[in-house]
Amino acid sequence: MTLVTRPAVADDVPGLARVHVASWRETYRGVMPDSVLDDDGLVARRERFWTAALTDERYRANRVATTTSDGTVVGVAMSGPPLDDDATWQQQLYVLYTYRAIHGRGAGAALLRAVLDPSDDAALWVADPNPRAQAFYLRQGFAFDGTTRLEDGVHELRMTRPARHHAGRSRAAAREAPGDTNEI
C-alpha cells in the first residue's frame, strides 16, 4: 500500500466525508452521543462541510490535505487561522483523521506536515479521553497548555506547539523533512 499526501481538491469531497465520519465512529463512540454518530445524514453533512472548506472564499486561508492509498482517500487534515480569542499562535489544526487501518504508517505525521508550517506556532483541540491522538500530538511536539472546554458535549484539551526554527533551511524544506511515523 503506497500512501500519497497532497492538497485536497473538490473531487476528493466524498472520500473526505467518508473518512471523517468513519473516524468519528471508530474513535468517538462513548465520547460523542450515539445519536450524532449513527445519524444517517452525517455523511451528507460532512460532504457539504468539505465542499465549503474547499470552495468557499471564506475559507481561502485554510489548508486542506488528504492522504490516499491507490487513489482512495484514507486521511484528511485541515488547518487555518487561530479561532481562539486568546490565541498567541499563527495557525490552528482543525481536523486530522485517518482510518484506523492505517494508524502507524506515517499518514498522520504527513498530513500534519502538509497543513502546519513548522516555522509558525500552532495549537489544536483534542478530545478527552482520546489517548492515542493525545500521544500522537505529544510526539509531534505539542504540549497541553492547561486550557479545557466542552464543545458539543465533548470534553476537549488544548495543545500548543512552538515554532521550529530550522537554521539554513527554507520553510518548504522544513515542511518536507522526514518526521515521526508513530501516529494516529
Identify whether the C-beta of residue 29 lies closer than 8 Å to the C-beta of residue 38.
no
User: Residue with C-alpha cell 470552495?
Assistant: 55
pLDDT value, residue 166: 56
Identify whether the C-beta of residue 111 lies closer than 8 Å to the C-beta of residue 96.
yes
Tell me the per-residue pLDDT of 9-45, one tens digit each, with 9 for 90 and over.
999 999 999 999 999 999 989 888 899 999 999 999 9
| Partner residues linked to 73 by β-bridges | 68
Q: Three cell numbers at 83? A: 479561532
Tell me the domains of the chain and their CATH numbers: 3-175 (3.40.630.30)
pLDDT value, residue 172: 41
Q: How far apart, in whole angstroms, are the C-alpha atoms of residue 182 and residue 160?
A: 19
Output the CA angle 146-152-153, nearest 5 degrees. 75
pTM: 0.87
